[in-house]
Amino acid sequence: MLRRLSRRAVTASIVLTLAACLSGCGSGAQGSPSEAPGTVTVFAAASLTGTFTELGRIFEEAHPGTRVRLNFGSSATLAQQIVQGAPADVFAAASPATMRTVTDASRAAAPVTFARNTLQIAVPAGNPAGVDALEDLADPGVKVALCAGQVPCGAAAAAVLGAAGVKVVPVTLEQDVKAVLTKVELGEVDAALVYRTDVLASAGRVRGVDFPGADETVNDYPIATLSAGPAPEAARRFVDLVLSQRGRDVLSKAGFRLP
């Protein structure tokens, strides 16, 4: 009799343990990402590489166990990847036009402008071609790199050159601003039009040349959480960090203007 009771007790114990496990697993699967470690994937314009890398570290320190996966590149390319279904939680673009590609496809809603940027002429540290003005870029003897027209830095370059009536024939058109800056750093070109923040981030590897009219073409940077993102709560918290005073401090230190 005692042996039978013992076996029944063991069986009951196993049933209760399995029930508790299934209940616990179910609640974990349905819980918000903020309640368990995970990954938030952020697609961001190449010109945000330094600032978002720093903000990613800040976010991970504030949310132990949560990893920030950063994917930097041309805003136009990233927008197309998102529309085509690439798994991402946050998109930070270098122009409203590239963000519209995503919102028009119902992949995001209500983007917020969090930073602004302007262009500057970048030349190698020694400025061997003697580029001192926007007009110098039209000299056939000056090798110039620009961003391709479909990406924000290329659209901004076309706007400032058009407004100034300066016709430039670039030796290369790159897909993002970091690639253009690299051409200057390596001395492969004499000058380029890049964002002011990229010149600052180069830490002296290139020199910036100001020109009249640069402030008349300002790129707004919008950010939004993505509707199909796998980590919506973590995405919202990352955007909150970017918009917070700490996020603004990081952006300001990097040379971005704040809205």
Long-range interactions of 199-204: CB distance < 8 A, separation 24+? 199/120, 199/122, 200/254, 200/255, 201/49, 201/50, 201/254, 201/255, 202/122, 204/125
Same domain (yes/no): 77, 197 = no
Does a structural domain hold residue 60? Answer: yes
Rounded average pLDDT over 68-74: 97
CA-based torsion, 94, 114, 58, 240: positive or negative: negative
- Whether residue 211 sits in one domain with residue 123: yes
- Give me the domain span that covers residue 212: 119-216
Total domains in the chain come to 2
How far, in Å, CA of 178 to CA of 205, rounded? Answer: 13
**Does residue 60 sit in the same domain as residue 188?**
no
Same domain, 112 and 239: yes
Judging by beta carbons within 10 Å of its beta carbon (0-12, 13-18, 19+), is residue 151 exposed, middle or buried?
buried
Distance CA 242, CA 229 (A): 18
Token code pair at residue 83: 């529309």
> Residue 37's pLDDT is what?
57
Domain membership of residue 142 (yes or no) is yes
Output the pLDDT for position 144.
Answer: 98
- d(Cα 199, Cα 207) in Å, to the nearest integer? 7
pLDDT, tens digit, 9 for 90 and up, residues 6-55: 444 434 443 334 333 333 333 333 333 333 459 999 999 999 999 999 99
139 plus 74 within the same structural domain: no
Task: Name residue 2's amino acid.
Answer: L
Question: Is the Cβ–Cβ distance between 193 and 166 less than 8 Å?
Answer: no
Distance CA 93, CA 56 (A): 16
Residue 68 domain flag: yes
Q: The domain that contains 107 carries what CATH number?
A: 3.40.190.10
Q: Is residue 193 located within the same domain as residue 174? A: yes
On whether residue 45 sits in a domain, the answer given is: yes
How does pLDDT run across 197-244, given as a tens digit for each residue?
Answer: 999 999 999 999 999 999 989 999 999 999 999 999 999 999 999 999
Q: Is residue 177 part of a domain?
A: yes
